[in-house]
Structure 1
Amino acid sequence: MISSPSNNGFSQQLDAIRQRIAVIRDRVLSQSNLSLSSEIHEEFQSALNVLESAQTVIQQAETSLDVAQLRASVREKEILLREIHHRVKNNLQVVSSLLDLQAMRTQDPTVQTILRNNQSRIRSIALVHERLSQSSQITRINLGEYIQSLTAILVRIYAIEPNRITFRTEIQGEIELSSNRAVPVGLILNELVSNALKHGLAGEFGEITVSLRITDAQITLIVSDSGERFPTDLDLMSPRSLGFQLINSLVQQIDGILTVSRIPNTMIAVRFSANDLQES
Structure 2
Amino acid sequence: MSRDRIHRDLTLEMRALRHQWANDMQLILAMIESARRECSSAEAAEEVRSILDRLEIIASGWRQGGRNADSLTRSLQNLCAKANALSDTVQVAMTTVGREPVLESNRVIPLTLAVNELVTNAVKHGRRGGAAPVLVLITLESRDDGSALRIAVEDDGSEFGGPSSAMTRGSGLLLVRRLVEAQGGHFHTPGDGSKRFEIHVPVET
Fold-level match, TM-score > 0.5?
Answer: yes
Instruction: Supply the distance in 2 between the matched residues of 1:211 and 1:144 (Cα, whole angstroms).
Output: 10
Instruction: Supply the distance in 1 between the matched residues of 2:176 and 2:104 (Cα, whole angstroms).
Output: 19
1:268: how far off?
A: 0.8
Q: Which residue of 10, 15, 19 maps to 1:82?
A: 15
Does the aligned pair in 2 maintain the 1:144–1:175 contact within 8 Å? no
Does the aligned pair in 2 maintain the 1:127–1:150 contact within 8 Å? no
Can you give the 5+ residue segments of structure 2 that lack an aligned partner in the other structure?
none
**Identity over the aligned pairs, expressed in percent?**
21
Q: Which residue of 207, 212, 227 maps to 2:157?
A: 227
Matched with 1:258 is: 187
Structure with bigger RCO (C-alpha 8 Å, 6+ apart): 2
Instruction: Supply the distance in 2 between the matched residues of 1:206 and 1:241 (Cα, whole angstroms).
Output: 20
1:110 counterpart SS class: helix
Q: Which residue of 94, 97, 100 maps to 2:27?
A: 94
Matched, 1:212 2:145: no
1:174: how far off?
A: 2.6
Deviation string, structure 1 residues 194-225 (Cα, Å, up to 9, x no partner): 11111113776221111101025220111111
Aligned pair count reads 199
Matched with 1:175 is: 101
Instruction: Supply the distance in 2 between the matched residues of 1:149 and 1:196 (Cα, whole angstroms).
Output: 17
1:250: how far off?
A: 0.9
Does the aligned pair in 2 maintain the 1:256–1:272 contact within 8 Å? yes
Paired letter, 2:154: S
Does the aligned pair in 2 maintain the 1:230–1:262 contact within 8 Å? no
* Deviation beyond 4 Å, 4+ runs, structure 1: 262-265
1:253: how far off?
A: 0.3
Matched with 2:63 is: 130
Matched with 1:201 is: 127
* Alpha-carbon spacing, 1:246–1:203, altered in 2? closer, same or farther (3 Å): farther
1:165: how far off?
A: 2.4
The correspondence of residues 46-65 of structure 1 with structure 2, limited to 5 A, is: none
Larger radius of gyration: 1
* Alpha-carbon spacing, 1:86–1:230, altered in 2? closer, same or farther (3 Å): farther
Paired letter, 1:209: L
2:204 counterpart SS class: coil
Paired letter, 2:26: Q
* Alpha-carbon spacing, 1:83–1:253, altered in 2? closer, same or farther (3 Å): same
* Alpha-carbon spacing, 1:262–1:227, altered in 2? closer, same or farther (3 Å): farther
1:102: how far off?
A: 2.0
The correspondence of residues 105-144 of structure 1 with structure 2, limited to 5 A, is: 105-132=38-65, 138-139=66-67, 142-144=71-73
1:108: how far off?
A: 0.8
Does the aligned pair in 1 maintain the 2:150–2:200 contact within 8 Å? yes
What TM-score comes out, normalization by structure 2 length?
A: 0.84
Matched, 1:166 2:91: yes
Q: Which residue of 170, 173, 191 maps to 2:117?
A: 191
Does the aligned pair in 1 maintain the 2:162–2:190 contact within 8 Å? no
Instruction: Supply the distance in 2 between the matched residues of 1:103 and 1:267 (Cα, whole angstroms).
Output: 32
1:139: how far off?
A: 4.5
1:185: how far off?
A: 0.5
Does the aligned pair in 1 maintain the 2:163–2:190 contact within 8 Å? no
Q: Which residue of 147, 166, 172 maps to 1:243?
A: 172
* Structure with the higher fraction of residues in helix conformation: 1
Deviation string, structure 1 residues 47-98 (Cα, Å, up to 9, x no partner): xxxxxxxxxxxxxxxxxxx5xx332222121111012112212222222222
Can you give the 5+ residue segments of structure 1 that lack an aligned partner in the other structure?
1-65, 133-137
